Amino acid sequence: MDRAVVPVLAVPLLVTSRMQLMLPVQETPFISERSYNNEEVIIDGDKMPGTPAALGASLAGKDRGIFHVEKAEYWRFIHITLTKGPYGVYVKDSHNNYFERLTTHSNYETGFHMQNSISNNEIVYLDTYNNADPRNNGQNADGMAIKEGSGAGNIIRGIRSYENSDDGIDLYEFKSSVTILDNIIFDNGVNRWNFNPHRGDGIGIKLGGGSPANRANVNHVARNNFSFRNRRGFSDNNMPGDMTLIHNTAWKNREEGFNQRTSMATYENNLAANNAGSSSLSKQNTLNSVKGKGNNWEKGGSWQDADFKATSTSLVKGRRQADGKITRSDFLRPVDGGNYGATTHWV
C-alpha cells in the first residue's frame, strides 16, 4: 500500500526548470506521484534550458530531466507524459523506485535515463519515442537507458521504445545485470531529423559496451522481447559476461538480428528472420561463444514473412489496455507452431 499519494491534475503543465526530487532515504511503503483519477497528465519542458542545446554544446547535470530524480527511494511514478525536455526522466543514485505507464516522447535527449548507483528499480509499460539529441547529431538519445553505473535488481518490462535517434534500450557501461522482459523495440536509429551526419547507432537492445576499462562481466537476461526494423536487433556491443536470451524475436533489422561477439551467452527458443536483407537463416546473426537450443535458425533453410501468422505492426502500436498491457495478437508468431520467438501474450 502506498504511504501517500501526490496527485497531478490533468491540465497541461509548461515548466521552465526541472522538477527535481532529491529525497532522503525512507522506509517502505511507497509514496506515489501519479495522475489524478487516472486522467492524462502532460508536462511540457519546451521552455527549459537545453531544449534543444546547440550542436556540440554541453548540458549541465542539474538541467537534465523534466523529472530529475536523485537520491530517491521508494517512490512510484504513474501515468504521466513528459515531452520536449532535456531528457524526459533523468534518474541518478536512486533505488527501490517504481515507474508505470509513463510516456516520454519528443525530448531533446534520452526519453528515460538512469545512471550511477541504480538498484531495484522497475520500469513498467513505458512508451518512449521520437527522442533525439541535436547537440550530438542523434548519438545519445535512446528511448530507455540504464548506463554508466551499477546496481542489482533493475527490471525493464513491457515498454515500447521506437523512433529514437540512437538505441531502443541501452545498457552502455552498466556493470550489473539487468532483466529485460516483454518489450517491443522498433524503428530506432533512423535519421528523421536530417542530422548531418546522423551518429545514432540504432541498436534495438544494446546489452552493454564502452571502453575496455569501463566494461565488466554482466549476466543480463533478455526474455520475450521483439526488436525489429532497427539497425541491429540485439547486441552485446563488446560487453563481456554470461548473458541469457530466451524467446526473443529479431525481424527485419538492417544488419544482424542477434550480434553476440564478446560475451558468453545462452540462446534458447529465439527467432531471427529477414534481417540483413536476407531470408536465409544462416545469414541472420553474428554469434561467438554462444550455446543454445531451440532457435529457429538451427534448422537451416529460409524464412519468409508468410511464415508468420501476422506481420502488421499496427498490432503492437495501438492504445494500451487499462492495465498497461497491449492487446494480445499473433504478431510474428510462427505459422508452424514452433516454440520459438516472442509473444504479445504477456503473463
Residue 2 has pLDDT above 90, yes or no: no
- Please give the average per-residue pLDDT across 152-170, as a whole number: 99
Q: What pLDDT score does 43 carry?
A: 92
Q: Are 117 and 83 in contact (CB under 8 A)?
A: no
Q: Which of 84, 92, 175, 206 is catalytic?
A: 206
Return the amino acid letter for 240.
Answer: P
Q: What pLDDT score does 1 carry?
A: 41
CA distance linking residue 117 with residue 237, whole number of Å: 22
Residue 250 has pLDDT above 90, yes or no: yes
pLDDT tens, 133-146?
999 999 999 999 99
pLDDT tens, 194-239?
999 999 999 999 999 999 999 999 999 999 999 999 999 999 999 9
CB-count exposure of residue 194 (10 Å: 0-12, 13-18, 19+)? exposed
Q: Where are the domains of the chain?
A: 4-264
Average pLDDT, the chain: 93
Q: How do beta strands 67-70 and 19-22 pair? A: parallel
Tell me the sheet residues that pair with 292: 267
Residue 305 dihedral angles phi and psi, to the nearest 5°:
-60, -30
Tell me, yes or no, if 206 is annotated catalytic. yes
Q: What pLDDT score does 26 carry?
A: 56
- Greater model confidence, 319 or 32: 319
Q: Which CATH class is domain 4-264?
A: mainly beta
pLDDT tens, 62-107?
999 999 999 999 999 999 999 999 999 999 999 999 999 999 999 9
Alpha-carbon Rg for the chain, nearest whole angstrom, is 19
Residue 4 has pLDDT above 80, yes or no: no
- Please give the average per-residue pLDDT across 303-308, as a whole number: 98
**Grid cell locating 268:** 534458447
pLDDT tens, 28-57?
566 677 776 777 789 999 999 999 999 999
Residue partners of 81: CB distance under 8 A and separation at least 6: 40, 41, 42, 43, 102, 103, 104, 105
- Please give the average per-residue pLDDT across 291-310, as a whole number: 97
Residue 10 has pLDDT above 90, yes or no: no
Q: What pLDDT score does 17 carry?
A: 62
Residue 23 has pLDDT above 90, yes or no: no
**Residue 9 pLDDT grade (very low, low, confident, very high; cuts 50, 70, 90):** very low
CA distance linking residue 120 with residue 60, whole number of Å: 26
